[in-house]
Chain A
Amino acid sequence: MEYRTTGFNGYAVQYSPFVNSSIAVGAAANFGLVGNGRLYFFDLTAQGIVAQKWYNTQDAIYDIAYSEQNANQLIAGCGDGTVKLFDTKVPDYPIMEWKEHNREVYAVAWNLVSKDTFVSSSWDGTIKLYSPERPQALLTLPTHSCTYSTHFSPHSPSIISSVTSDSHLRVFDLRTPASASNHLVHLIPIHGHAPQQGPSYNPLRPRHPPSEALTHDWNKYRDTTVATAGVDTIIRTFDIRHHKHGATAHLEGHKYAVRRIAWSPHAPDMLLSASYDMTCRVWSDRMATPNITPGSHAPSQGAELGRMDVHTEFVTGVDWCLFGGQGWCASTAWDERLLVWDARSVMNQR
């Protein structure tokens, strides 16, 4: 199924956590470089995808997140640094707006456990925590680096993570006391730790230069597993308990930067990715566990299960449907299209 978001290039897509036939898309005119943004609410019907409502914004919309509290509400992160809360019951304008960031907001995420807070991250190098009831952000977490993606752990109401252009995965725990560390509990170099000097030093170990990380996601079943991806095209999984030895698994195959990844809500090993190479790919990390044998820290290789290459421009958003048959997903791209498809069909082709 397909819907044309004419005049607007997709940036983010999400299924409603409440209604199995609702999808929202955040989009921007002129590839998000300059001009308006638009937020679409779609209904999946027997007749195809029907746009229920849309909202225009002053600047591009780069990311969206459905409220976990209220089925009608959704937040959007915008190019002008604002975060807007929309309610489908209220036409035309957002019901709340937070102007806290100095630069483009590239990610928003709702707290999946306590459901009463959400976060945004921005190119200004900060993550901000909000409550929909408060007019100002509750907390600012600095990353000092362009922060492309932020999430709550799906297993804890107080753990926030981010990936940034400095090639690091950060994990913050709000339960830690307020201190100079700003709740930072893990700082994981995605490209790998610096080499250990000494007799086991092998200059030829596979090495990767630091590269911008654009997206990450928490596994929905394995509560210490996080996947990251970005400019160097490799999707990596980490066990945040054992990150000293580097990534747990590498999923390699994308030709260009990976723009978004999402773990399956149904299978503990399955992951969906969207890339600048115009494909969406389905992967399995084969339930990889960290290799902690001394001297051999090579990450295991994941498997590509299938690929969807219908998009004709950079794919920027993917999401799994939480309901029904366990493979439905949606993707949006710069080709002005929202596609709804079944991951199982592309997996069977291979």
Chain B
Amino acid sequence: MSAAQNRLTQVSGHLAGSKSTLAPTEGDTSSGRSKLLQKHADDIVVTACLRTPFTKGGKGGFKDTQAADLLIGAFKALLERSRIDPALVEDIAVGSVLPPGGGATEFRAAALAAGFPVSAAVRSLNRQCSSGLQACVDVANQIKAGMIEVGIGAGVESMSLQYGPGAVTEFSELLESHPESANCKVPMGVLSEKMAKDRNIPRDVQDAFAANSYQKALQAQEAGLFDEEIAPLRVQWEDPKTSETKEITVSKDDGVRPGITKESLGKIKPAFAKDGSIHAGNASQISDGAAAVLLMKRSTAERLGQTIIGKYVAASVAGVAPLLMGIGPWAAIPKVFEQVGISKDDVDIFEINEAFASQCVWCANELGIDQNKINPKGGAIAFGHPLGCTGARQVSTLLYELRRRGERVGVTSMCVGTGMGMAAVWVAE
């Protein structure tokens, strides 16, 4: 750049930083957002991301499919799409909440069955509903730290086969006698009901938000907006009527339903308390699914000729009271903003997991986030929340939507059982 251009850039930076209507451009280096948009060789980038469809727990297309098999499907599709040499993948992290033993054994086996050589390491991890995001963040951090060069962050959950009381062991005397610690095992529905009352989130607000999620998801599905992120999967499925097992191809989220309005949701009986406000229609669906994200440094991606879809910028985790676990995003999102030096206005899309309409709408309102920026293709209320998978799923949902709209900056976030929140900033390219 010439000296004059440099000076002009400097001055326009002064203007662009001051919340002016002048959009910050890539050239000026002052605003947090424009810093975010700059490309550097050591950025951690996403070169492929996808998910299986999500299907309804107990009755959907994946009701008879093991979590590990869903994972194989996601891995195979990821290898096919990215055309990366599987031998280059050094580590795979899989977030999953329900499997006994964390799924460590099955997931390693799944990676081998999907075509990874024995040299690709695998681990499972569990940070409840943020496991999938934690997996991506862990792999990104491993790459940042130089431990590995190429890795995969993934998430999987078969709630059909593994959801149930067995997921938590009996609490010891010591745990039971500590008040906050005993709260950690209060069931989600009960504590969300409590939070809705506590934070005064009326039922009609929840129902309106939930109906909106359904409508957005339906529109997106009809317009084919999920097609890019979804990798169809062929599985065995037992017809409950005939008990006949047949092979089917699942290519769509089956939780998305037409004709759902605020009024139709208003007729459903509350599930957790007679005078409650939470019911099946304004809480996330129980689902099965898997998702995977391929991560590496920008320099590596360029060397390997990988297509860069977006980049991972930063993530935060925050603890909140176990009984108020729903407020997790409220604690985590500002924290990640602070790290990155941006504000809510710099973000184009927020993917905030809809564990319950109540908590999602509360967090959004409290943070002052524009409703139009939240979950533009619907969320877990409409197409499901396979616990450990969701965090990895949001990456594909977010990046493809940002790219489609020509927008850049996105945030994924979710509340986490036992009282936590996670949030991450991503940039589409």
Chain A interface (Cβ < 8 Å from any Cβ of B): 31-34, 79, 104, 123, 146, 165, 194-195, 203-204, 207, 209-212, 214, 230-233, 254-257, 259, 276
Are B17 and A231 interface neighbours, CB within 8 A?
yes
Residue of A nearest to B32 (CB): A209
Are B18 and A203 interface neighbours, CB within 8 A?
no
A195 to B318, CA, bound (A): 13
Are B330 and A212 interface neighbours, CB within 8 A?
no
Cβ-neighbour of A165 out of B20, B30, B32, B367 (below 8 A): B30
Residue of A nearest to B329 (CB): A203
Among A194, A207, A231: residue with most chain B CB under 10 A: A231
Residues of the B chain whose Cβ atoms lie less than 8 Å from the Cβ of A255? 18, 20
Looking at the assembled complex, report how far the CB atom of B316 sits from the nearest CB atom of chain A, in whole angstroms: 10
Q: Is B341 an interface residue (CB 8 A)?
A: yes
Among A195, A212, A230, A276: residue with most chain B CB under 10 A: A212
A276 to B333, CA, bound (A): 32
Are B15 and A34 interface neighbours, CB within 8 A?
no
Looking at the assembled complex, report how far the CB atom of A219 sits from the nearest CB atom of chain B, in whole angstroms: 24
Cβ-neighbour of B14 out of A31, A33, A276 (below 8 A): A276
Residues of the B chain whose Cβ atoms lie less than 8 Å from the Cβ of A204? 330, 334, 366-367
Among B30, B32, B366: residue with most chain A CB under 10 A: B30
Looking at the assembled complex, report how far the CB atom of A33 sits from the nearest CB atom of chain B, in whole angstroms: 5
Residues of the A chain whose Cβ atoms lie less than 8 Å from the Cβ of B318? 203
Are A210 and B14 interface neighbours, CB within 8 A?
no
**The 3 residue pairs across chains A and B that have the minimum distance between CB atoms:** A231-B17, A34-B4, A203-B334
Are B341 and A209 interface neighbours, CB within 8 A?
yes
Q: Is B195 an interface residue (CB 8 A)?
A: no
A97 to B37, CA, bound (A): 41
Residue of A nearest to B5 (CB): A33
0/1 interface trace, chain B 327-362, chain A, CB 8 Å (1 if under): 000111111011001110000000000000000000
Q: Say yes or no: A209-B18 contact (C-beta < 8 A), given A34-B3, A123-B10, A203-B334.
A: no
Residue of B nearest to A210 (CB): B341
Are B30 and A212 interface neighbours, CB within 8 A?
yes
Q: Is B410 an interface residue (CB 8 A)?
A: no
Cβ-neighbour of A211 out of B30, B338, B366 (below 8 A): B30
Cβ-neighbour of B17 out of A34, A195, A207, A232 (below 8 A): A232
Looking at the assembled complex, report how far the CB atom of B363 sits from the nearest CB atom of chain A, in whole angstroms: 10
Residues of the B chain whose Cβ atoms lie less than 8 Å from the Cβ of A194? 338
Looking at the assembled complex, report how far the CB atom of A263 sits from the nearest CB atom of chain B, in whole angstroms: 22
Looking at the assembled complex, report how far the CB atom of A36 sits from the nearest CB atom of chain B, in whole angstroms: 13
Interface residue count on the B side (C-beta < 8 Å): 30
Cβ-neighbour of B19 out of A210, A233, A259 (below 8 A): A233
What are 26 of the A-B contact pairs (CB < 8 Å)?
A: A33-B4, A33-B8, A33-B11, A34-B3, A79-B3, A79-B7, A123-B10, A146-B10, A165-B30, A203-B333, A203-B335, A204-B367, A207-B334, A207-B337, A209-B32, A209-B337, A211-B31, A212-B14, A231-B17, A231-B18, A232-B17, A232-B18, A254-B18, A256-B14, A257-B18, A259-B14
Q: Is B13 an interface residue (CB 8 A)?
A: yes
Residue of A nearest to B20 (CB): A256
Cβ-neighbour of A212 out of B13, B19, B343 (below 8 A): B13
Residues of the A chain whose Cβ atoms lie less than 8 Å from the Cβ of B10? 123, 146
Looking at the assembled complex, report how far the CB atom of B25 sits from the nearest CB atom of chain A, in whole angstroms: 15
Known contacts A207-B337, A211-B30, A214-B14, then 7 further A-B pairs from the complex at CB < 8 Å, ordered by chain A residue: A34-B3, A34-B4, A34-B7, A104-B7, A146-B10, A203-B330, A209-B342
A104 to B15, CA, bound (A): 19
Residues of the B chain whose Cβ atoms lie less than 8 Å from the Cβ of A209? 32, 337-338, 341-343
Looking at the assembled complex, report how far the CB atom of A278 sits from the nearest CB atom of chain B, in whole angstroms: 12
Residues of the A chain whose Cβ atoms lie less than 8 Å from the Cβ of B367? 204
A204 to B320, CA, bound (A): 13
Looking at the assembled complex, report how far the CB atom of B20 sits from the nearest CB atom of chain A, in whole angstroms: 6
A41 to B4, CA, bound (A): 27
A203 to B333, CA, bound (A): 9
Residues of the A chain whose Cβ atoms lie less than 8 Å from the Cβ of B335? 195, 203
A79 to B341, CA, bound (A): 30
Are B14 and A32 interface neighbours, CB within 8 A?
no
Cβ-neighbour of A257 out of B3, B7, B17, B330 (below 8 A): B17
A270 to B411, CA, bound (A): 42
A283 to B331, CA, bound (A): 35
Residues of the B chain whose Cβ atoms lie less than 8 Å from the Cβ of A104? 7
A79 to B7, CA, bound (A): 9
0/1 interface trace, chain B 16-50, chain A, CB 8 Å (1 if under): 01111000000000111000000000000000000
Residues of the A chain whose Cβ atoms lie less than 8 Å from the Cβ of B11? 31-33
Q: Say yes or no: A231-B30 contact (C-beta < 8 A), given A209-B337, A256-B15.
A: yes
Residues of the B chain whose Cβ atoms lie less than 8 Å from the Cβ of A276? 14-15, 18
Residues of the A chain whose Cβ atoms lie less than 8 Å from the Cβ of B3? 34, 79
Are A195 and B338 interface neighbours, CB within 8 A?
yes
A299 to B249, CA, bound (A): 61
Residues of the B chain whose Cβ atoms lie less than 8 Å from the Cβ of A254? 18
A203 to B335, CA, bound (A): 7
A79 to B8, CA, bound (A): 13
A257 to B13, CA, bound (A): 10
Looking at the assembled complex, report how far the CB atom of A11 sits from the nearest CB atom of chain B, in whole angstroms: 11
Among B10, B14, B318, B342: residue with most chain A CB under 10 A: B14
Residues of the B chain whose Cβ atoms lie less than 8 Å from the Cβ of A211? 17-18, 30-31
Looking at the assembled complex, report how far the CB atom of B9 sits from the nearest CB atom of chain A, in whole angstroms: 10
A214 to B10, CA, bound (A): 11
Residue of A nearest to B368 (CB): A204
Looking at the assembled complex, report how far the CB atom of A250 sits from the nearest CB atom of chain B, in whole angstroms: 15
Looking at the assembled complex, report how far the CB atom of A234 sits from the nearest CB atom of chain B, in whole angstroms: 10
Residues of the A chain whose Cβ atoms lie less than 8 Å from the Cβ of B32? 209-210
